[in-house]
Amino acid sequence: MSTTDPFRVDGKVALVTGAARGIGAETAEQLIAGGARVLITDLLVDEGQALAAKFGAAASFFRLDVTQEADWQAATAEAIARFGRLDLVVNNAGLELAGFFADMSVDDYRRQMEVNGTSVFLGIKHAIRTMRPGGTAGRGGVIVNLSSAAGIKGVAGLGAYCASKGAVRLMTKAAANECARLHYGIRVNSVHPGLIKTEMGVKTLRDFVKLGIVPDEAAAEAAFEAGHLLGLGRPIDIALAIRYLASDAAQWITGMEMVVDGGYTAA
Ligand SMILES: NC(=O)c1ccc[n+]([C@@H]2O[C@H](COP(=O)([O-])OP(=O)(O)OC[C@H]3O[C@@H](n4cnc5c(N)ncnc54)[C@H](O)[C@@H]3O)[C@@H](O)[C@H]2O)c1
């Protein structure tokens, strides 16, 4: 445990996916503020490199398409080559494809499940292989998976997205069981944000207009505001929850779904 403050993450090394912008970028920033070094990964090379440059020696960028297993092998190897260890993998990258069941193509459904579901399977697989005893990092660690409030509560117009995030929720609990029972020293938890106005959050508001659920973007935002007891959240609300789960303060927490949604699922 950290000698100073168990809520800090001093000395730890993290790999964060989808970290060029949005919740992932804020997570990288808060992990670094807490004393960690971060491998920022994304498909967006220019944005990711520019973000990593802001943090100097505490960060580095690596292009990782989370749906590609070879990229996972290369990225976990890069974390160790660059920083000498790996303690935390945040499976944050994601995509939101809206549509009613009656209208959505099976190709879009499969794409949604691949980018949000298969990606997390691959992330868990390679995090375990790297961090478990005998792995190239080998000292155990933490996996945090981004699910959603929509992985708990069904949302009209987001059927495929809900299915993908529900998969992440239970994959997390299965992995937590497996890691504990096989004595890997790896904790696995999921985080469930409510609506955050990142690029994805704004797309969701616009999709609800396109689907005819609300007349315009202002009405969409008002409806979501009303549905969240504390109003809409900010990326930092999620990033600090992730940092907590990564810290030694959470050392007795595994298999948990951490709902950070301003009361959306409680309303
Ligand atoms: N914003 C919200 O309201 C909200 C709510 C609940 C859950 N979430 C979840 O939080 C996570 C982050 O969302 P965000 O709002 O920051 O979204 P965002 O769209 O702003 O950022 C997502 C990032 O993932 C990257 N990405 C997409 N596909 C990828 C791939 N195949 N490989 C690597 N990177 C890829 C994108 O380039 C982007 O940088 C997602 O998993 C999302 O589903 C978001």
Q: Is residue 253 part of a domain?
A: yes
Whether pLDDT at 221 is above 70 = yes
Average pLDDT score over the chain? 98
**Residue 203: inside a domain:** no
Give the Å distance between the CA of 88 and the centre of ligand 1. 18
For residue 145, give every residue at least 6 positions away whose Cβ sits within 8 Å of its Cβ, in sequence order, or none. 91, 120, 123, 124, 168, 171, 172, 188, 189, 190, 191
- What is d(CA 24, CA 217) in angstroms, rounded to the nearest whole number? 25
Q: Which of 47, 65, 196, 200 should be mutated for ligand 1, with most atoms under 8 A from CB?
A: 200
The alpha carbon of 220 and the centre of ligand 1 are apart by a number of angstroms equal to 20
pLDDT band for position 4 (50/70/90)?
A: confident
Q: Which atom of ligand 1 is nearest to the CA of 146?
A: 41
- Structural domains in the chain (count): 1
Dmax over Cα atoms in the chain, in whole Å? 56
Q: List the structure tokens of 159.
A: 């059927």
Residue 6 forms part of a structural domain: no
Question: Atom 42, ligand 1: which residue's CA is nearest?
Answer: 94
Tokens of 18: 């989808």
Q: How high is the pLDDT of residue 61?
A: 99
For 84, counting Cβ atoms within 10 Å of its Cβ (0-12 exposed, 13-18 middle, 19+ buried), the class is exposed
Structural domain including 131 reads 13-194+233-260
Q: Where are the alpha helices (DSSP H) in 132-216?
A: 159-181, 199-210
| Nearest atom (ligand 1) to Cα of 19 | 39
Residue 1: is its pLDDT beyond 90? no
For residue range 142-178, list pLDDT tens digits in order.
999 999 999 999 999 999 999 999 999 999 999 999 9
> Do residues 165 and 106 lie in contact, with contact meaning Cβ atoms separated by under 8 Å?
no
Tokens of 184: 């890997």
Kindly list the catalytic residues.
161
Residue 127 pLDDT: 99
* 117 is a domain residue: yes
42 belongs to a structural domain: yes
Pocket of ligand 1 (CB under 6 A): 17-18, 20-24, 42-44, 64-67, 92-95, 115, 146, 148, 193, 195-196, 198-201
Q: What is the pLDDT of residues 72-118, one digit of tens each?
A: 999 999 999 999 999 999 999 999 999 999 999 999 999 999 999 99
> Could you tell me the CATH number of the domain that includes residue 256?
3.40.50.720
| Phi, psi (rounded to 5 degrees) for 58 | -80, -10
Task: Give domain status of residue 205, yes or no.
Answer: no
State the distance from the centre of ligand 1 to the C-alpha of 154, rounded, in angstroms.
19
d(CA 8, CA 33): 9
Q: How does residue 3 score in pLDDT terms, banded at 50, 70 and 90?
A: low
CA of 50 from ligand 1 middle (Å) equals: 18
